[in-house]
Amino acid sequence: MRLEFWQPHRRVKSIVDVDLDELRAEGHRAIMLDVDNTLLPYRSQDPPRSARDWIGRARQADMQICLVSNTRRIARIRSIALELDVPFLARAGKPRKSAYRKAAAILGVDPEHAVVIGDQVMRDIWGGRAAGMLTILVDPIDDNEFLLTRLERLIERFVLRGLGIMVARQDRSP
Ligand SMILES: [Mg+2]
Q: CA-CA distance, 79 to 45, in Å (whole number)?
A: 8
**Which residues constitute the domain of residue 94?**
3-163
Distance from residue 38's CA to the centre of ligand 1 (Å):
5
For residue 172, being part of any structural domain is answered with no
Q: How far is the CA of 27 from the centre of ligand 1 (A)?
A: 25
Residue 81 lies in a domain: yes
Inside any domain, residue 34: yes
CA of 87 to the centre of ligand 1 (A): 17
Domains contained in the chain, number: 1
Select the more confidently predicted residue: 121 or 43. 121
What's the predicted TM-score (pTM) here? 0.85
Average pLDDT over residues 22-50: 94
How far does the centroid of ligand 1 lie from the alpha carbon of residue 85, in Å?
20
* 37 Cα–ligand 1 center, Å: 5
- pLDDT band at residue 5 under the 50/70/90 scheme: confident
Ligand 1 centroid to Cα of residue 157, in Å, is 15
Report how far ligand 1's centroid is from the alpha carbon of 162 (Å): 23
| CB atoms near residue 26 (< 10 Å) | 12
* Predicted confidence (pLDDT) per residue in 51-100, tens digit: 999 999 999 999 999 999 999 999 999 999 999 999 999 999 999 999 99
pLDDT in tens, 136-173: 999 998 766 666 777 777 777 777 777 665 544 444 55
Whether 108 is in a domain gets the answer: yes
Rounded distance from Cα 28 to ligand 1 centre (Å): 22
Asked if the structure places residue 174 within a domain, the reply is: no
The pLDDT score that the predictor gives to residue 164 is: 66
Is the Cβ–Cβ distance between 120 and 49 less than 8 Å? no
Q: Is residue 173 part of a domain?
A: no
- Phi, psi dihedrals of residue 90, rounded to the nearest 5°: -100, 165
Q: How far apart are CA 105 and CA 9, in angstroms?
A: 22
Helix (H, G, I), strand (E, B) or coil at 139: coil
Q: What beta strand segments (E) does the chain contain? A: 10-12, 30-33, 64-68, 88-89, 114-118, 134-138
pLDDT tens digits for range 113-140: 999 999 999 999 999 999 999 999 999 9
pLDDT score of 78: 96
Is 171 inside a domain boundary? no
CATH number, domain with residue 89: 3.40.50.1000
